[in-house]
Structure formats: C-alpha cells, structure tokens
C-alpha cells in the first residue's frame, strides 16, 4: 500500500510540474523554464575558437572600414549570414597583398574551384531556428551576438547563445518570446 501511495504522490508531483511547465514553459513564464532547464546541446561555448584553414584576420579587415555585411551580405536577406564565397575575397585580394601566404592559399582554392572548409564558430543546436534577417532588419548590431569581432584576430564565440541569454535579449527589446519564434 505504501508503494502505491508513493507512486501516486510521485505521479501527482509530475502532473503538477508538467502542468506548470505547459502553462509557463514559454511566453511569460520563460525565466523559470530557462533557468531550470537548459538542453544538453546548448552548453555555454563562449570562448570556443576552432582551428580554421587560415587565420582570417577580421580585426585587420574591420580596421580598414570593411563592414560585416560587405562579406556576409546574405545576413540581411536570408536566415544565415553565411560564409562568403572566395570570389568575395578575391574582389580585393586579386590585387591587394597577393604575396601573403593566406591569400595564395585562397587564390589556389578559387582557381581549383574548391570551397574553403571553414568550421562554424557560432553554431546553434538543430532544434533551434535562428534567422539573421529579422535581427539585421531591426538594426541589431552583429556584436550583440558575435562579440567585438572587429577586435578579434581569430574569431571566437563571445556570447553563450543559450536559450535564457536569447530570451533575456528578446524581453529587453520587446521581441517575440513565444516558443515558435525559435523552435519550429
């Protein structure tokens, strides 16, 4: 009899918890949800900087006044900012600093019609759908999520990109916080 009572009590607690989560899991009760549970795939990877085919100097390009969207032009019109095609690089580097080893490497890849095999730095879990387009259209600076890339010699993940971090920003900026905003 005691086993049945414990099972019923445990079941009752689970039902109450499930009901609470169902009614507050997204929307206004999100803070409880995001502080209580963070999916295993969304670890805080701030500081992550994978090895890349070349050390691309974002800081040097930014110092010359080249804006993020010059190279990452698809950010304003699509879900992903994307890695620029090599012909974007060669728009300048066909003539500028051609003697440098990284430029020789890029040029060789371009001539061989081979893509550059970059490793994604700012990666979201498969269950999250993030689109750059609405963020760019609302005037969110790239640095809000990517950090001060213009000061980075080698790009690294500067922010946690965890669900709670995103929702805090959405709340502060009165952006949608319904689950389907990012999970669809």
Residue 111 within any structural domain of the chain? no
Q: What is the pTM of this model?
A: 0.69
> Is pLDDT of 34 > 50?
no
Residue 28 within any structural domain of the chain? no
Residue 172 within any structural domain of the chain? yes
For 114-133, what is the mean pLDDT?
89
Phi and psi at 69, nearest 5°, equal -75, -5
For 36-51, what is the mean pLDDT?
62
pLDDT at site 102:
94
Tally of domains in the chain: 1
For 13-23, what is the mean pLDDT?
51
Residue 104 within any structural domain of the chain? no
pLDDT at site 125:
86
Specify whether the CB–CB gap between 133 and 76 falls below 8 A. yes
pLDDT at site 3:
46
Residue 76 within any structural domain of the chain? yes
| Secondary structure class of 12 (helix, strand, coil) | helix
Residue 147 within any structural domain of the chain? yes
pLDDT at site 99:
94
For 68-85, what is the mean pLDDT?
86
Domain extent for 124: 52-83+118-181
> Is pLDDT of 122 > 50?
yes
Residue 41 within any structural domain of the chain? no
For 150-179, what is the mean pLDDT?
92
Q: How far apart are CA 39 and CA 138, in angstroms?
A: 28
Residue holding tokens 């609405």? 134
Residue 26 within any structural domain of the chain? no
């Amino acid at each position: 009899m005691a086993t049945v009572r414990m099972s019923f009590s445990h079941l009752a607690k689970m039902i109450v918890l499930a009901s609470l989560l169902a009614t507050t899991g997204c929307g206004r009760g999100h803070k409880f949800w995001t502080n209580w549970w963070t999916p295993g795939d969304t670890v805080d990877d701030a500081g992550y900087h994978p090895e890349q085919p070349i050390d691309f100097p974002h800081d040097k390009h930014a110092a010359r006044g080249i804006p993020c969207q010059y190279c990452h032009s698809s950010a304003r019109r699509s879900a992903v900012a994307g890695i620029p095609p090599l012909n974007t690089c060669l728009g300048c580097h066909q003539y500028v600093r051609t003697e440098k080893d990284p430029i020789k490497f890029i040029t060789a890849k371009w001539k061989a019609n081979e893509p550059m095999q970059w490793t994604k730095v700012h990666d979201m879990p498969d269950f999250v759908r993030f689109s750059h387009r609405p963020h760019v259209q609302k005037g969110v600076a790239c640095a809000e999520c990517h950090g001060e890339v213009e000061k980075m010699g080698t790009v690294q993940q500067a922010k946690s990109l965890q669900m709670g971090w995103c929702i805090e920003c959405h709340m502060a900026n009165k952006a949608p916080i319904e689950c389907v905003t990012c999970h669809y």
